[in-house]
Structure 1
Amino acid sequence: MKLNELRDREGATHSSKRVGRGIGSGKGKTGGRGVKGQKARSGVAINGFEGGQMPLYRRLPKRGFRKPFAKSYNAVSLGRIQAAIDAKKLDAKETVNAEALVKAGVIRRAKDGVRLLASGELKTKLAFDIAGASKTALEAVEKAGGSVKLPEPAAAAE
């Protein structure tokens, strides 16, 4: 096959409709836009406009609040970590932190830290240096003989 022989598959491209080119074309006069009105003109931008009736997005009440500085954590289960150790991707002798988990491919990127969850079973003694953990996850790590280092909570402003 040569470059000059390249073609699209049959039916992949359509020739554009030539509108407004006489009554015999079937798309003459109004050019497929119906009759007069705002939608027959160019530059129509009426998303959410309901003909003067109060639009739905303004009839419904506002709800909720989103923290502007909310932290986004990676949730990692004990079962995932054990699977990474069994697959020899994580070294059990080294501290398990966000960087180690990214390197092992357990998480894609370290967001604001890693939060440990208790689903699955941990059989290996591990030292964790992470942003947070559930109570049951802490108990499971300590039961396996490991330790968890969490950041100190910020002291209340006086």
Structure 2
Amino acid sequence: MKINKLLAAGVTGVLALTGVMVAEFEGEVRTGYVDPVGVVTACFGHTQTAELGKTYTEKECLNLFAMDLGDHNEQLLRAVNISLTTSEHAAYMSFHYNVGAGNFRSSTLLKYLNNGESVKACNELQRWVYADGRKLPGLVKRRELERQLCLSELTDA
């Protein structure tokens, strides 16, 4: 996905950086489908209002994506009680977008993060590579990229 499309949808800064990464991993599927864990999904991993079999336009997908990124960012920032580097923020946004607010809030990763154990928190990402009990190569790749990004600006990493 081109960054210009995200910018046109009103997505800037950390959200644009995260958007490019999330779009790459989620992929764009313009017809509603059932994902590997049984959730109806469309566009760039949109689940809230996705309809099985419905066809979405590029504009609809971009608008849903911008809305989803904003929603996930708000939920992420409500859960985190410390300052994040830009890279941590982008990595955790990608993770949050993929696993959802509930899983993020109950994670050991968030406990480490809010305790100021930033490196430990980043390293927790690599544990989240299973979907419905199966280790998925795409999640292994995604989590490693998120982990590397997360650690990239930390001085004690």
Same-fold call, TM > 0.5? no
TM-score if structure 2 supplies the norm length?
0.21
Identify the structure with the greater helix proportion.
Answer: 2
TM-score if structure 1 supplies the norm length?
0.21
Bigger radius of gyration: 1
